Structure 1
């Protein structure tokens, strides 16, 4: 230990360094616990208050037949959009 450095100065360096190492170790352990805790979490229970939903997956799809003029107009619109206008 150098002569011109007091014991109080050494503690001023050693204590914060030890605290930083202890905090890093604690944070690593905490992150591992949270990561493993979320992996083990059970799926949320289904709420029985909600009525059962139909299994169709959405509303009924509609289909409209376009006339040749409408198809040409739509094709022209698509060309304009693809050209960046």
Structure 2
């Protein structure tokens, strides 16, 4: 696999091309999400696109990180505004 650079919350990150985006997020911070009920830290949940817990914004559009593959130049935002799907 070749290495690519992506923007993750505005910061450049180098990773292997074609990795599931959740793998990059979990390597950066194992608990990169907050529980919607208690606000406690949590990581990935189902890992196969069913739960929508890993929703992020990729190149301006909502996407499930577990189904998204890394590619050169992609821009990812992990902040969660209220209007998420």
Higher relative contact order (CA 8 A, sep 6+): 2
TM-score (norm 2): 0.17
Structure number with higher helix proportion: 1
Between Structure 1 and Structure 2, the one with more strand by share is: 2
Whose radius of gyration is greater, 1 or 2?
A: 1
